[in-house]
C-alpha cells in the first residue's frame, strides 16, 4: 500500500515493507510505458545516506493507482525488459541533470 504526500515541492510516498514497517520515500520520477501498459515510480528513502561515490540507492516499482488517485499499490518489476527500460530512463535523467549543471 502506498500513500502519497506533498511536502514543499517534494512528493513523498509511504512504503509498507514485508515486515509491516512504514518508510517515507521521496518520489524522484514517474513515467508511463505504452510498451508495457504500466506506470512506474522511481524513489529513494527520505534521509538516505550517499555512498562513497555520492550516490543514493534508487528503487523502482510499477504503480497501480487507486480509483481516488490518492494512493495505490506498488508492484515489483517483473521482467528484464522492464529493468532495461528503467535503466534507460535513469540514464536519461542523469544526462539531463549533467546538462543542467554545465
What is the per-residue pLDDT across 60-86, written as a single tens digit (0 to 9) for each?
Answer: 999 887 776 666 788 999 899 999 999
Residue 1 domain-assigned (yes or no): no
Spatial separation of the C-alpha atoms in residues 42 and 25, rounded to whole Å? 10
**Domain assignment of residue 86, given as a range:** 12-100
Which residue has cell 521521496? 26
Strand partners, 86: none
Q: How many CB atoms lie within 10 A of CB 47?
A: 10
Contact 39, 13 (CB under 8 A): no
| Entry pTM | 0.78
Mean pLDDT across the chain: 83
Instruction: Tell me, yes or no, whether 6 lies in a domain.
Output: no
Nearest to 6 by CA among 57, 68, 63, 70: 70
In eight-state DSSP terms, residue 40 is E
User: Which residue, among 65, 59, 31, has the nearest Cα to 43 in the 3D structure?
Assistant: 59
Is 3 inside a domain boundary? no
Q: How many domains does the chain have?
A: 1
Q: For residue 70, what pLDDT is reported?
A: 63
Give a yes or no: residue 52 inside a domain.
yes
Amino acid at each position: 500500500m502506498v500513500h502519497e504526500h506533498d511536502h514543499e515541492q517534494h512528493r513523498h510516498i509511504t512504503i509498507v515493507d514485508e515486515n509491516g514497517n512504514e518508510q517515507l520515500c521521496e518520489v524522484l520520477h514517474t513515467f508511463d510505458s505504452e510498451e508495457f501498459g504500466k506506470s512506474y515510480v522511481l524513489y529513494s528513502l527520505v534521509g538516505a545516506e550517499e555512498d562513497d561515490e555520492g550516490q543514493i540507492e534508487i528503487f523502482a516499482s510499477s504503480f497501480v493507482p487507486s480509483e481516488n488517485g490518492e494512493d495505490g499499490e506498488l508492484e515489483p518489476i517483473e521482467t528484464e525488459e522492464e529493468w532495461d527500460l528503467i535503466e534507460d530512463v535513469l540514464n536519461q535523467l542523469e544526462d539531463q541533470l549533467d546538462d543542467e549543471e554545465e
